[in-house]
Structure 1
Amino acid sequence: MVISPVHGLGDDGGRFYVLVHGGAGHVVEARRQLHVDGCLRAARAAAAVLAGGGNALDAVEHAVRTLEDDPLFNAGTGACLNEAGRVEHDASIMEGRGLRAGGVCALSGFQNPVSIARAALEDGRHVLYAAEGAARFASERGFSSVDGEALITDAAREALASVRAGKGTTSWAGGTVGAVARDASGLCAAATSTGGTIDKRLGRVGDSPLIGAGTYADDEAGAVSTTGQGEAMIRLGVARSVVERMRAGALAEVAAQVEIERVRGRLQATGGVIAVDARGRWGLARSTSTMSWAVAGERGERAGF
């Protein structure tokens, strides 16, 4: 059953806010509030960027960096481990006015891949950098590498061991983190970051760094970040599809719900979507038992799972 629990209505009057998600998954009840609190911290920090004059692109980068730095989530520090027991990051970011975008994938040894994706967006020559090329680009743009062990948490090691033992990972946060925002000028932006799937093959790339699958933004319609089974999101181009439904007039909540239902119906896959439309209305949907989220901005804040 697809659950689309909340939506918010904005207007055309320059309202601003940021909506974040902490990943569609199956977090045990005892840990759910921790994930909600982490999302709320990220949303508040990003809303402060908007209140201080930053734009929507600044806000989504800041929100996702905050989640990357929180070891509760499957991104940045604490991200899940691949088959070699290492962290490989994927991330992307996009703004809707000039349709500029940047992404990195299969990246090892850097703490905040979303900011490297932002650097790719600003550089403008290419949209997506992979593996060693992404690491070289990051170093050339002044990002400091870190020891890969510094990104690994005990929880990530336990999750890998559990999957290999066939026990599953009922306390894991989900497949990704992300943020969408609309600022007072009407600029929309989206960003997504992940460690991918537990025990993934070396070099596996999911939807999170792919524009149109995991992230999309267009000021004429809105902005989207997805989470869940990445291969399904890639096959159906979910982020772009949600944006196109909003372009055709659907509420953000309805557009998100329809696409999550399509993912389930066509591919028997699960996931979640957060979205904001060009008029400042936001919504989300999930087909998993949990997807922590929070929204903060000029009209206050809300959060849940």
Structure 2
Amino acid sequence: MTRFAMAVHGGAWNIPDELWAAHQAGCRAAQAAGTAVLAKGGDAVSAVCAAIRVLEDDPTFDAGKGSFLNERGEVELDAGLMEGDQLHYGAVLGVARIQNPIDLARYIMEHNQHCVFFGEGAEALAGPAGLASVDPHSHVLPRERKRFETYRDQPEKLNSGVWRAAHDTVGALARDQHGNLAAGNSTGGIPNKQRNRVGDAALISSGLYADNEMGAAMCTGWGESIMRAGMLHQALAQLKAKGDSSEAAQAAAETAVNHLERRVGGYGGIVVMTRSGYCGAAFNTERMAFELPSKDS
């Protein structure tokens, strides 16, 4: 049987002990949702979206419901999706009225000549996509309102370690039974970010990439440093050079994170998948929530 594989992440940061179990459980649930699609012969894009919807709906993570708030106390959600056969890609940036931004990213990828939409222009596509608009406040939790107020009133806390202390960006990689790859990410950004700031997560070649001829990868962490260091590019270059094995996947992930830290002092993590579905993961924060396929699957 052709190998299929499903990997997910729930963010790289200093996840406290009291939140660790919820992060692990959320990643397992998302991986199970995506794997169920693949096991029935479903395609990689559908599997990635199924997994990310679980994570967007789980208030544990910084994506969809429970996202961090910007400097105005508002949500601004980004999501990106790419498939590895024809290299189609779609993304939405800075949306607030979409329950599952990954679904709108998929609509753009599959039905629009353009790849990326932001703000009101992106939200206007919800109707044609058959997606209901939601109240932006439905994404806001009391926990995040309290976090927002703390950083607003004590900005020194925001400037001393937020890059390591708050990254719940979520994502998924999949390989289906036909050998097609897909990658997706979804995020609410960082706490109290400047309005309209965009990180790496939803951006092609920065936060995610999928190519059946090369492999796939997704990043999480301090977006500015990830973009500057080209962490994802480093991983894919390693995959191309070292081949298609679990060892190659792990080496690619570790090389990319080491480059991130050495070149720009960045923090984050990456999950890598080879053409055949072998996976590796690495991070330089205290923890990263993720689930990889078993080596026997």
Please, what TM-score do these two structures have when normalized by structure 1? 0.90
Q: Please state if 1:289 is matched with 2:282.
A: no
- 1:248 aligned counterpart, secondary structure: helix
Q: Is 1:186 equivalent to 2:179 in the alignment?
A: yes
Distance 2:121 2:14 in 1: 34
Q: Percent identity?
A: 39
Q: Tell me which of 216, 220, 233 is aligned to 2:213.
A: 220
Letter of the 1:223 partner, please give it: A
Q: Provide the residue aligned with 2:31 in structure 1.
A: 43
- Give unpaired runs (5+ residues) of structure 2: none
- Shift of residue 38, structure 1, vs aligned partner: 0.5
Structure 2 distance, partners of 1:193, 1:281, is 23
Give the alignment of 1:167-178 within 5 angstroms. 167=157, 174-178=167-171
4+ residue segments displaced more than 6 Å: 169-172
Q: Deviations over 1:176-202 (max 9, x none)?
A: 111111112111110000000110111
Q: What is the letter of the counterpart of residue 253 of structure 2?
A: A
Once the two structures are superposed, the pairs formed by residues 115-264 of structure 1 within 5 Å of their partners are 115-164=103-152, 165=154, 166-167=156-157, 174-249=167-242, 251-264=248-261
| 1:113 to 1:172, Cα distance in 2 relative to 1, 3 A | farther
Higher relative contact order (CA 8 A, sep 6+): 1
Shift of residue 236, structure 1, vs aligned partner: 2.8
Letter in 1 for 2:268: G
Give the unaligned 5+ runs of structure 1: 1-12, 301-305
**What residue is the counterpart of 1:7 in the other structure?**
none
The answer to whether the 8 A contact 1:174-1:228 is kept is: yes
More displaced stretch, 96-105 vs 238-247: 238-247
Q: Distance in 2 between matches of 1:173 and 1:34?
A: 15
Return the offset for 1:238: 2.5
Query: Which residue identity is paired with 2:89?
Result: A
1:195-234 C-alpha deviation (Å, 9 max, x unpaired)? 0011011111111121000010000111111000111122
CA contact (8 A) 1:35 1:173 kept: no
Contact 1:196 1:205 in 2 (8 A): yes
2:266 is the alignment partner of 1:278: no
Q: In structure 2, give the amino acid aligned to 1:283.
A: G
Counterpart-to-counterpart distance in 1, 2:77 and 2:23: 20
In the alignment, residue 226 of structure 1 is paired with which amino acid?
C
Shift, 1:48, TM fit:
0.3
Deviation at 1:296, TM superposition (A): 4.4
Q: What is residue 113 of structure 1 aligned with on the other side?
A: 101
Partner SS state of residue 125, structure 2: helix
Give the CA deviation at 1:279: 2.3
Root-mean-square deviation (Å): 1.9
Q: C-alpha distance in 1, partners of 2:215/2:271? A: 11
CA distance in 2, matches of 1:230, 1:175: 12
2:9 is equivalent to residue 16 of structure 1: no
**For 1:171 and 1:228, how far apart are their aligned partners in 2?**
8
